[in-house]
Homo-oligomer: A and B are copies of this chain.
Amino acid sequence: MTDLDAMDATVKPRTARLRADASRNRERIVAAATEALVEFGPDVPLDEVARRAGVGNATLYRHFSDRGELIRQVTLSVMARTAQRAEDALAEEPDAFSALYRFVFEAAEERIGALCPMLSEAFDREDPEVAGQVQRMERAIIAIVDRAQRTGQLRPDIAVGDLMVALTQLTRPLPGTGCVGFDRFVHRHLQLFLDGLRAPARSVLVGTAATLEDLKAGRK
């Protein structure tokens, strides 16, 4: 950096920033992919994603070298927002079960169902960036669950893995529908499920409380 550079406000940053339009496209693709992943699952045609994002298919490939990379980015962005929501809920809700309650509905809004490809064999959970976000999200959700269990509002025989998978399943759209009129069911189901989570437990659960680690193991 010379003095001349320092004086020039328009100098390009060293880490090439994306052009405005490219950056916009990138975000539109991630958003479209998030929705499409929730709706179609991990095999969603990438052409469909591109179409929804309003870009050519090759543009998608310019930004994401292949399907895995696109899914990775979607996963990261969904996890980041979900973690944030979880942290906020924990920090802002005075009541422990209210925090859980709020988190569940906000996670649904953030399309936590788009994380389903994380469970497939192809997905690399060892990737450092992914591992980092997983840990952040995990910590935040565990904190919510722990607090609600410590206050005696959440049944003690469940764990974060149970919550995450059920949440994903219940928020998945019906196949082949444009999700029309489906959200209306989802809220009811989540609420019923949350009622089932409340302490005191109304039944004895089979199996053992599933953690996020178990999900990893379950893949094999």
A residues adjacent to B (C-beta < 8 A):
41-43, 116-117, 119-123, 158, 161-162, 165-166, 168-170, 172, 174-178, 180-182, 184-185, 187-189, 191-198, 201-203, 205-207, 210, 214, 217-220
Residues in chain B near residue A189, CB distance under 8 A: 162, 165-166, 169, 193
Residues of B within 8 A of A158 (CB): 188, 192
A192 touches B196 (CB 8 A): yes
Contacts of A217 in B (CB 8 A): 181
- A192-B197, A220-B180 known; A187-B175 Cβ under 8 A: no
| Given A169-B170, A185-B162, CB of A203 within 8 Å of CB of B191 | yes
Q: Could you write out 22 A-B pairs with CB less than 8 Å apart?
A: A41-B175, A43-B175, A116-B176, A119-B175, A119-B177, A120-B176, A120-B177, A121-B178, A158-B188, A161-B185, A162-B185, A166-B185, A169-B170, A170-B170, A177-B218, A180-B218, A181-B218, A184-B207, A192-B196, A192-B205, A194-B203, A195-B195
Pair B41/A218 contact, Cβ less than 8 Å: no
How distant is A176 from chain B, measured CB to nearest CB, in Å? 3
CA distance A191 to B201 in the complex (A): 11
Minimum C-beta distance from A35 to chain B (A): 15
Given contacts A170-B166, A194-B196, contact A207 B220 (CB under 8 A): no
Using CB atoms, name the residue of chain B closest to A167: B189
Specify which chain B residues have a CB less than 8 angstroms from the CB of A194 in the assembled complex.
196, 203
Residues in B whose Cβ lies below 8 Å from that of A218: 177, 180-182, 184-185
CB pair A207 B188 closer than 8 Å: yes
- Inter-chain contacts of A197 with B (CB < 8 A): 192, 196
Given A169-B169, A180-B220, A193-B192, are A187 and B207 also a contact pair (CB < 8 Å)?
Answer: yes
* Pick from B41, B170, B188: contact of A41, CB under 8 Å: B41
